[in-house]
Amino acid sequence: RGAELIKEDLLSTKLDENILLQSASFIYGLFKEKNVNQTVFMPYSSLLRDLSFWFVQLWAESLGKKVNLNGENVHTGLTPIPAYGATDQHSQVQLFMEGPYDKLAVVIEVDRFDHDYSLDNSFQQKALKSLAPFNLGQLMKAEHQGTLKAFEQNSRPYLNIKISKCDEINVGGLIMFLESLTALMGHYLDINPFDQPGVEAGKKFAFEWLDGANQA
């Protein structure tokens, strides 16, 4: 149902207000004009952590291509990087903030969490007592907002995608949006995003090796 709803919304929105077209144009512009060829996928929710690995597969196998639609060798693609907010703020974000200017962060924000917890009695250390008035959802929100602000101050591009909550409708809509974005990026890159000849070649050689081992 969520995929159907987002599809209807995208198809009925004016071109100059269509967030899918705007997102694809933004990503492609960074790629062509500034060589931003790495895409960080960073959801701020434990429920969406595994979605990062799904996105890596989708983005890599769809957009990493040797030839364009005219059969010309182009060796194009955008390298996906899985990340996890707020955990990776203490590791990979160092690279994202101060490393090469070749990365775009796609950040997934969740507005409401079904289960939230008070931090009132969570910390015994005096330095952390200031967190006592807040709940875990508010802390996650602060981490998310802090990261976006830091991206801005360091001139690091990001695309923030917000869903209201992690349920079937919203996650289904998010998946449809990301799949549509990938297909549209294939159009911008002038490649076929629906095949994976590089993967098939590896499978072919693997079966040839097995045949040889079986006959030995």
Q: Which of 75, 90, 115, 126 is catalytic?
A: 90
Q: Which of 61, 103, 109, 144 is catalytic?
A: 61
The pLDDT, as a whole number, for residue 2 is 85
Provide the terminal-to-terminal Cα distance of the chain, rounded to the nearest Å: 53
The pLDDT, as a whole number, for residue 200 is 87
pTM of structure: 0.90
> Does the annotation count 203 as an active-site position?
yes
Asked if residues 69 and 50 have their Cβ atoms less than 8 Å apart, the reply is: no
- 120 or 23: which carries more pLDDT confidence? 23
> Does the annotation count 61 as an active-site position?
yes
The pLDDT, as a whole number, for residue 161 is 98
Q: Does domain 2-215 have CATH number 1.10.3720.10?
A: no
- Give the whole-angstrom CA distance, residue 133 versus residue 188: 48
Q: Which pLDDT tens digit goes with each residue over 114-152? A: 877 777 766 666 666 777 778 888 989 999 999 999 999
| 42: pLDDT strictly greater than 80 | yes
Of the candidates 125, 23, 41, the one whose C-alpha atom is nearest the C-alpha of residue 81 is: 41
The pLDDT, as a whole number, for residue 131 is 75
Domain boundaries, the chain: 2-215
The pLDDT, as a whole number, for residue 122 is 63
